[in-house]
Structure 1
Amino acid sequence: MRRRITSAGVVAALLSGLSAAPAPALPQQGVAAAPRAVDWTPCPEAPDDDTVRCGTVTVPVDWADPSGPTLDIAIARRTATDPDRRIGPLLYHHGAPGTSGVDAVVQDPRIFSAETVERFDIIGIDARGTARSHPVVCDAAAYPADVEPVPSTPAAYTRAVAAHRAFVANCRAGTGPVFDNMDARSVARDLDAVRAALGDRRLSYYGDSHGTLVGQAYAELFPTRLRAAVWDSNMDHTTGVSRWVRDRAASVEDSFRGFADWCDRRPSCGPPTGGTAQWYDRLHARAERGELTVTLPDGPTFELDGYLLGTQVSFHFFQRRWAELARCLTEVDANRTGCLFEGGEATAGDIPAGKIHYPQTAAFCADHRMPVRGFADLRRLRKLALDNAPHTRLTALAWSGVTDCLGRQGDAVKNPQRPLRLGGKAPTILLTNSRHDPSMPHVWAERVADQAAPRGRLLTYEGWGHGNYWISDCVAASVDRYLATLTLPPRGASCPAVPEP
C-alpha cells in the first residue's frame, strides 16, 4: 500500500538523523567557577584505541546564569603523535547542527593530515543539543509531516504555522532549557570552557559550515585565547531570509549546472536526447505529477515529489558524487528511486522508539531571524527560490531555513544576524570556500572576509563541493602550513579544481 507522506516529513527525518543521539539526561544543578580537568577514559566506540580518549566538560545551560542548571559537553581527544613538537589543542567543530565532532575524531585517525596530527591534539566536540551533549529530542509523531513545504492557500499556511509551533513546543518540553540556549555564542563559550579544562592558555580552531559561525563568535568573544582559526565553507551572519533563499537556491542550481555540463561531455553518463538538464526537468515534472514512488527497506512506500527529489539530488553535490548521481538518475527514470536515499545513515547512538533528534530549529533559529509575514510573503519567497533555480527548483538547502523557523515566528532570537566585529587582538584567520559550493555560497565567504579584514584572508578553491580541506590537496597544504606557522596564503590566492571524477 502506498502511504501519503509529504516530502517535508521525509526530509526532516533525513536531515535530523533519527538514530543520532541518546535520550537526554536531566540538566544538573550548579557548576564550578572554573571547569575541572577532563577525566579521560577509553571511548566506548573505540575502547582499544590508545590514541583517542573521551570525556566531558560541565557548562551552564544558560551562560547568563552560571550558577543555574548545567549540562555535560562530550569531547574526544586524539593526542599529538609527536609530543616533542606539540603546538597545542586543535578544536574541530563538525558541520551542521546534529553532526558529531566526537564521532569524527574517534572514527577517523586521519581526519587531518599526518603533519597536523603530529603537532596538535585533535579535539572533537558534540555541541550542546547534539549527540552525547544533551540532544534535542522530539516526539516523532509531533513533526508536521502532513504539512506541505509551501502551503498552497492562506488556510493551509495558518495550519502549517500552528503545526510547526506545536512541534517546537513538543521539542522544548522533551529537551528542557537547553532548547532555548543553542545559539552560536553559547556554543563558543562552551568551547572556551573546554579550552580551560584542557589546561591550555590558547587554542587553535577548525570549523566547517555551521562551525564557521561558532568560530566567528569565539573570535569575537575570546580573541586573546585564540591562536589560529580556519573557517571552511563560510556562513555569513548578515544574511536575512530573502538573501538566504535566493543565494542558496542559486548555489544548488550552480552545482547542478556543473554536474549537467560534466554529464553532457561523458558518453558513459548517458542522458537522453536533449541533454542532462532537459532530462532532469522531465524527471522533476514526473515527480510533481506523482508518477514516482519510493520504497525503503522496512519503511513505507510514498510518493517522490519534486521537493524531495531536488533535495536528495542536491546532497550529491556536497562531495561531488556526480558519477553516482548519473547512475541514480537513470534508475529514477525507471522508477527505481531507492538509490537517492542510500548512504545517508545517521551517526552513532540510540534514541528511544518514537523519538527523533531534531536540533535544527533550536540551533538555526537561535542565530537567525527569518520572518515570514503571512501567506503572500511565503509565496514571494518561493518565487525567489524558483527564479534562481530553474532546474533544481525548490530544495531543503534553500527552504528549510524558512520552514524550520515557521514555528518560532515572533519569538525572541538570542543571537540575531549582525556583521562580524573583530578587534585588533584577534589573530589572523584563514577562510576557505569553494567557488561552487551547494550550501555555503562563495559570495558569503567574500562578505565574511570583508567583515574580518584586516585579520581575515580568503583562499578560494576553484571547484565544486563543500568542505575544501578534504577535497583539495592544495587547500589542505595551505591550511596545514597556516596552522603550524600562522603563515597566510597571498591575498587573492586560489587553488585549482581537482580533476573531474
Structure 2
Amino acid sequence: MNHTRFVRGPGAALVGAALLVSGCTSGDGSDGTRSGATASEAGAPAPHLRPLPAGVPDELRPYYDQKLHWRGCGPAGFECATLRVPLDYAHPQHGKRDAEVRLAVTRSKPRGGDQPHLQVNPGGPGGSAIEYVQESAGLSYPEEVRKRYSLVGMDPRGVGRSEPVTCLTDKQMDAYTRVDQTPDDAAETRELADAYKKFGKGCAQRSGKLIGHVSTTEAARDMDVLRSALGDKKLDYVGASYGTYLGATYAGLFPGRSGRLVLDGAMDPSLSSRRVNREQTAGFETAFKAFAEDCVRHSGCPLGRDSAGKAAERMSAFFARVDKKPLKTGDSGRTLTEAQATMGVIRAMYDKGSWPMLREALSAARKGDGSQLLALSDDYYERGPDGTYSNTMYANAAVNCLDLPPAFSGPEAVRKATDSFEKASPVFGRGFAWAALNCGDWPHKPTGSPHRIAAKGADPILVVGTTRDPATPYRWARGLAGQLETARLLTYDGDGHTGYQRGSNCVDRAVNTYLLSGTPPKNGTTCH
C-alpha cells in the first residue's frame, strides 16, 4: 500500500490516489505477457513485456471499428461519448452486455476534422481523466497544445464514470480511514488486518466480475480501442504518476502505434510490490526533510527552529501523542486519529505549495485543534463536505492488488520487514510497512508480476523525473528510462510530485516542444 497519486494542475486541489502498488501485466499469457515471473528482493532482472501482434484479431474488430456518438457535456467546449470494450480480452463476447464494459470518454471539441487527439491520464490508479481534462488540463494546458490537439480523457475501467468499483459505504469508509496503521499490540494488529479484509470483501461483493478485470494491461488495451475509435493512427499521450505506468504499458504492448508519449513522475514496472513500497517510503522521507529544512527557517515553525533532524523527531513524537489521544476537530464529533494526522502530513508532501498550509495545520494541532489536518486527510481520501467519498480509493486498491503479488502475506511478514522501512523513513516507515499489508488478503488472485518494458520500435518517449518527488522517487524515472529503448530522460531538480506544469519554465518548454514538434530534449537534460 503505497501513496502514488496524481495532481489536477496548477492552483487546483491535489486529489488522492493513495495506497497504490505498482502496476503490472496480466499473468495468463493470453495478452502477450509472460506468466509467473517475479523480481527478487536481491534485484534479479524481471522479464520483458512482450508486444501484442500488430494486427487486430477478428474477434476484437467490432470494438476497434465502433463509432463514437458524441454529445455536449460538462463545461462549454467539451463533448462526451461511451466506448464499449470486452470485459475479458481473452474471451471477448461482442454484444453481450455482461461480458462488456462501458467506458466514459470526454474530449475538447475538435477544431477541425483532422485534428489529432491527445489522451491524458492524471494517475492513481483511480483518478478520473474526465474530471482532469474538463476541470484542469482543458484550461491549464498551453494554448498552442490545445490548438494542436483535442484533449481526451477516458476514465479507466472501474474508475469514476466507467462502471466504478465500489467497496464500502461512506460511514464504513469513515471508520476505515481512522484505523490505526501503527499497531502497538495484538488487538490493534487484528483490527488492522480485519479492516483490510473487510475492505476487500466489500469490493468483491459490490463489484462482481469487474473486480478481476481492472488490471493496467486491460486498461492499456482499452486505450488502443479508443485510439482506433477516434481515428488516430498512433496514440499521443500525457500520463502523470500511475499514468506513466499505464502509458509505458501501452508502449510495450503496441510499440508500432505509440506516438508522442510523455511519462511524468515515472514508475518502474520491474520492481516488486515490497520494493515499490519501501522505496516510496524513502521518497516521502526525502520530501519531509525538504519540508523540515524549509520549516525551521520560518518564525513560528511548529516543529521548532533548531534543525531539520529535531523537526523529524518532533513530528514522530506528535504522531505518538495523537495515537494516545485523538484531537478535537469541531466537525460533528469527528476527532483526528494518528492515521488521519499522518495522512494529512503525507497529503502536503506532494506539493511544495502546500507547505505553508501544513505549517498552519501543525501549529493548530499543537494547540489541540486537529481540524486543518483532518481537512488535509479528507482531501487525500476525496471525502466531500457532505461525507461522501469518490471511488478513487476503491479503484486504487482493486487495480493494484490485481497488478502485483502482495508485498506481505500477513502480520508476521510485516514485523520482519519493519526495521528496513523505518531505516528508509524514521517518520513514516512503520506506518508504510503496515499499510503495505492491504493486498495480503485480497479476494482475487493477482494476475500480474514485475516486468521490464522495452517498447522496441516505438517513437521517442519522454520520461520526466523530479529529484525530490515523494510518491514516485526519481530513481524510478531513471529505471523506466533505462528500460524503454527510445526513452529520453528529462530531470527536474525540484520538490513535489511530477514536473510538467509545476512552475519550471524549462520543463514546460521541453514537454510542449515535444508535443508540438515530436522533438524530445537531449537525453539527460536537467531543469531547475
TM-score of the aligned structures, taking structure 2 as reference length: 0.79
1:103 paired residue among 127, 131, 135: 131
Q: What does residue 79 of structure 1 align with?
A: 109
1:64 paired residue among 90, 98, 119: 90
2:204 paired residue among 168, 172, 187: 172
The answer to whether the 8 A contact 1:293-1:301 is kept is no
Deviations 1:351-382 (A, max 9, x none): 99899661122111111212424433211232
Measure, in 1, the Cα distance between the counterparts of 2:317 and 2:144.
50
Q: What does residue 34 of structure 1 align with?
A: 64
* Alignment of structure 1 residues 11-410 onto 2, 5 Å: 15=16, 32-43=62-73, 45-46=74-75, 49=76, 51-67=77-93, 69-80=99-110, 83=112, 88-108=116-136, 109-140=138-169, 145=176, 148-152=180-184, 157=189, 160-161=192-193, 163-267=195-299, 269=301, 271-275=303-307, 277-290=309-322, 293-296=326-329, 298-305=331-338, 307-320=339-352, 321-342=354-375, 344-345=378-379, 358-395=394-431, 400=435, 402-408=436-442
Deviations 1:123-179 (A, max 9, x none): 011111111001111233666837542545567656654553343222112112111
Deviations 1:35-79 (A, max 9, x none): 422111111x32xx1x21111101111111210511211111013
Once the two structures are aligned, what percentage of the paired residues are identical?
26
Measure, in 2, the Cα distance between the counterparts of 1:287 and 1:351.
27
Measure, in 2, the Cα distance between the counterparts of 1:176 and 1:271.
47
Mean Cα deviation higher: 122-131 or 71-80 = 71-80
1:361 to 1:79, Cα distance in 2 relative to 1, 3 A:
same
Mean Cα deviation higher: 180-189 or 137-146 = 137-146
Measure, in 2, the Cα distance between the counterparts of 1:170 and 1:347.
19
Q: Cα RMSD over matched residues?
A: 3.1
Q: What does residue 491 of structure 1 align with?
A: 523
Deviations 1:250-301 (A, max 9, x none): 1111111111112223346575353454245334324313465344565443
Q: Which amino acid aligns with 1:420?
A: I
Q: What does residue 26 of structure 1 align with?
A: none
Q: What does residue 10 of structure 1 align with?
A: none
Measure, in 2, the Cα distance between the counterparts of 1:405 and 1:255.
26
1:399 to 1:319, Cα distance in 2 relative to 1, 3 A:
farther
Structure 2 unaligned residues grouped into runs of 5+:
1-14, 19-59
1:292 to 1:328, Cα distance in 2 relative to 1, 3 A:
farther
Q: What does residue 467 of structure 1 align with?
A: 498
The answer to whether the 8 A contact 2:182-2:431 is kept is no
What secondary structure does 1:466 align onto? Answer: coil
Q: Which amino acid aligns with 2:122?
A: H
What secondary structure does 2:247 align onto? Answer: helix
Q: What does residue 482 of structure 2 align with?
A: 450
The answer to whether the 8 A contact 1:263-1:269 is kept is yes
Deviations 1:375-433 (A, max 9, x none): 3321123222211112344455x754x13312228x5321221111322x211100001
The answer to whether the 8 A contact 1:167-1:407 is kept is no
What secondary structure does 1:139 align onto? Answer: coil
TM-score of the aligned structures, taking structure 1 as reference length: 0.83
Mean Cα deviation higher: 266-275 or 209-218 = 266-275
Measure, in 1, the Cα distance between the counterparts of 2:101 and 2:395.
16
Measure, in 2, the Cα distance between the counterparts of 1:283 and 1:156.
22
Measure, in 2, the Cα distance between the counterparts of 1:438 and 1:63.
35
The answer to whether the 8 A contact 1:382-1:394 is kept is yes
The answer to whether the 8 A contact 2:16-2:124 is kept is no
Measure, in 1, the Cα distance between the counterparts of 2:252 and 2:390.
36
* Count of residues paired in the alignment: 460
Mean Cα deviation higher: 102-111 or 427-436 = 102-111
Measure, in 2, the Cα distance between the counterparts of 1:355 and 1:53.
22
Q: Which amino acid aligns with 2:418?
A: R
Measure, in 1, the Cα distance between the counterparts of 2:172 and 2:384.
22
What secondary structure does 2:441 align onto? Answer: helix
